A and B are shown apart, each in its own frame.
Chain A
Amino acid sequence: MLWPVLGPRLTFRQRLGVRKTLGRAAYVFLLGTTLVGIATLAALLLDILLDGLPWLSVDFFTNYPSRHPEQAGIRAALFGTLWMAALTALLCFPIGVATAVYLEEYTSQNWLSRIFNTNISNLAGVPSIVYGLLGLAIFVHTLSLGRSVLAGALTMTLLVLPVVIVSAQEAIRAVPDAHRQGAYALGATKWQTVRNIVLPAALPGILTGTILAMARAVGEAAPMIAIAALVYLTFTPVSPLDRFTVLPIQIFNWVSRPQAEWQGVAAAAIGVLLVLMLGMNAAAILLRNKYQRRSEE
C-alpha cells in the first residue's frame, strides 16, 4: 500500500536501503531550505554592513537630513520612529489585551464570537496602505489631528491590533483550564480569576506578541507615507501633536537618489533600523523567558 511501485517483491533489506536514502535526502533537502533563508539574511546583513559602516558615526545619529551625504543624519527619523512605536504600544496593548480577554473569557463559542474572530483574522491580512488611507481620512482630517505623531500612532494601532489580539488570545487559551477551575473552587469571581490567574500566566505570550507587533510597526513604510510623507525636517517631536517622519520613509528617499553616496547613507540607516528591530525581537524573547521561569516556580 505504501510502496505501490516497489511493491512486495523487494526484500526487507532492500526496502531498508531505499528508506535510509530517502531519509538522508529529506535531511539534505530540509537543511537546504533552512540555509536559503539564513544565507539570504546573512548576505543582506553583510552587504548592508559593508555599504553602511563607513557612514555610521555619532553625527549620523545627531544630525538632521542634509543634501550633503556626509552631513546627513537620522535624528528626526529615529526620534519620530521611537515616538510612534512608544505611542502605538501604549494604545494597542490595553485595547488588544482587553479584546482578547473578552473574546476568550467572556463570550461562549457562538456565531457572534465566530464572526468577531474571523473578522479580526481578516483584518490582519488587509494591505497596510489601506490602513494608511483610513488613518489619513479619519485621524488626520475628520478628527483634525493633523499629520501628527498621534495620528500616525493611531493608524499603526489599527494596523497591528489584530496581531496583538490574536497572539493574546492564543496566550490566554494556553492557560490550563484547571487553573481557572481551581480559582472558582476557592470562590474567586470571574474578574478575580482573569486578573490574578489567567493574565499573569498569559503575560509572557502577550508581551511577545505585542513586541513583535511593534517591530512590524517600526518597519512599515506604506501607511506612514500617507500620514507623514515628510523627509526634510529639522526638529524632533516634543508632544504627540507634532509633525514627524520615520526611518523607512527616510531610507526610501535616500535610496532613490542618483548620487552613489546616498546608497551608503541609506545602508547605514537600514542597519540602524535592523538593529532596532532585532533588539525588539530579542527583548521579546528575554521577557518571555524571564516570566516563563517565574510562572513555573
Chain B
Amino acid sequence: MAFLLAACQTTPTPPSDAGTLAGTIEVDGSSTVFPISEAVAEEFHKKHPGVQVNVGVSGTGGGFKRFVVGETQVSDASRPIAASEAAQAKANGVEYVELPVAIDGLAVLVNSQNTWVTCLTTVELKRIWEPGSTINNWSQVREGFPNRPLHLYGPGTDSGTFDYFTEVIAGEAKASRPDFNASEDDNVLVQGVIGDPNALGYFGYAYFTENMGSLKLLAVDGGKGCVAPSDQTVKDGTYAPLARPLFIYVNVASLARPEMKAFVDFYLQSAPALVAEVGYVPLPAQEYEAQRAKIG
C-alpha cells in the first residue's frame, strides 16, 4: 500500500507525510481569490484530513490587517501589498513571500442590444470614469455615438477590482467618479447591465464567461489596438492594462511547519488545473515551478 502511494506521488515529498500531517492553517483575504484557495483547501483536505485549513473572505485589505500581525499564515490578495501594510508587517516582525497564483481579466461590458460600440480606448474609459467626469450621454464618449443616456455600473469601493481599475484607468487607486451604480456583489452588476440597454460596466472576466449570451464584451485599446479579453490574451499579456495578477502572501516563519510547507507546495502544484476550473487564467507552468523553488 505504501509502495502504491509512493508510486502515485509526483512530488518529492516522502510518502510517509501523506495523511499523517496535522495542524491548523488560517487563510483569509480577497473574495476574488477565495474560490482558488477554497478549491486548493478542499483537495488538500482529501489528502491530509488531519490538517484543518480555514479560508475566510475579509477582503484584500481586511486579510492583510490580520496577516501583518501574524494572525493568519496565508493572505489572499487581488493587489500587491501596500507600502503601509508592508511597514506594519515589518514592525511586527512578520516576514512574507509574495506568490502570484493566477491572472484575472477585468471585462468592460455593455448590453447585448448595444450596436454602436465594440471597442473603447483607455483614454475614453478614463474620461468616462475619472473623478469629476460629467459624461452622462453616449454621444459625449465618442463622435458618432447615439444621443442616449449613459448608465455606469461598477464594483463597490471596498473591492480590489475597483482599486485595480481606478489605478490603471484613472491613474490613481480609488480615484473614480462617485455617481455610478455600485455593488460589492458582481452578480448584481451583471443583472444591471443585462437589463439596461444604455449600460456600461466593468467586473471580473469570470462573471462574463458565465453570462456570455446576455452581455456584449468590449475590446479595450490600451494604445496598441483593440484587444478583447480571452484566456489567451489575458495569459500572454496582450489584454493590457486590464489584466491583473492574483496573489497569495505566505508567512515565511510558518513555512517551518511541515503542514504549511506541504500546503503551499500543494497550492502551487495544483494551481494550473484548479485555477482554470474556478474560472481564472493560470500562469505559465514554469512560473509555478519558479515559485516552488522560491519557497524551498
Contact = CB atoms under 8 A, between A and B. Distances in A.
Interface of A: 65-67, 228-235, 243, 253, 255-260, 263
B35 A229 contact: no
Interface string B8-42: 00000000000000000000100100110111011
B131 interface: no
A256 B41 contact: no
6 contacts: A228-B56, A232-B38, A234-B52, A234-B53, A258-B209, A259-B210
A243 B58 contact: no
B266 interface: no
Contacts of B211: 258
B187 A231 contact: no
Contacts of A67: 35, 38-39, 42, 274, 277-278
Interface string B122-156: 00000000000000000000000000000000000
B229 to A, nearest CB: 14
B185 A256 contact: yes
Q: Select the residue from A243, A255, A258, A260 with max chain B CB neighbours within 10 A.
A: A258
B186 A258 contact: yes
B126 to A, nearest CB: 27
Given A256-B185, A263-B187, 17 more contacts: A65-B38, A67-B35, A229-B28, A229-B62, A231-B57, A232-B37, A233-B53, A233-B54, A243-B54, A253-B57, A255-B185, A256-B31, A256-B184, A256-B187, A257-B35, A258-B206, A259-B279
B220 interface: no
Interface of B: 28, 31, 34-35, 37-39, 41-42, 45, 52-58, 62, 184-187, 190, 204, 206-207, 209-211, 274, 277-279
A262 to B, nearest CB: 9
Contacts of B190: 258
B210 A231 contact: no
Contacts of A66: 42
A253 B186 contact: no
Nearest to A235: B52
Contacts of B53: 232-234
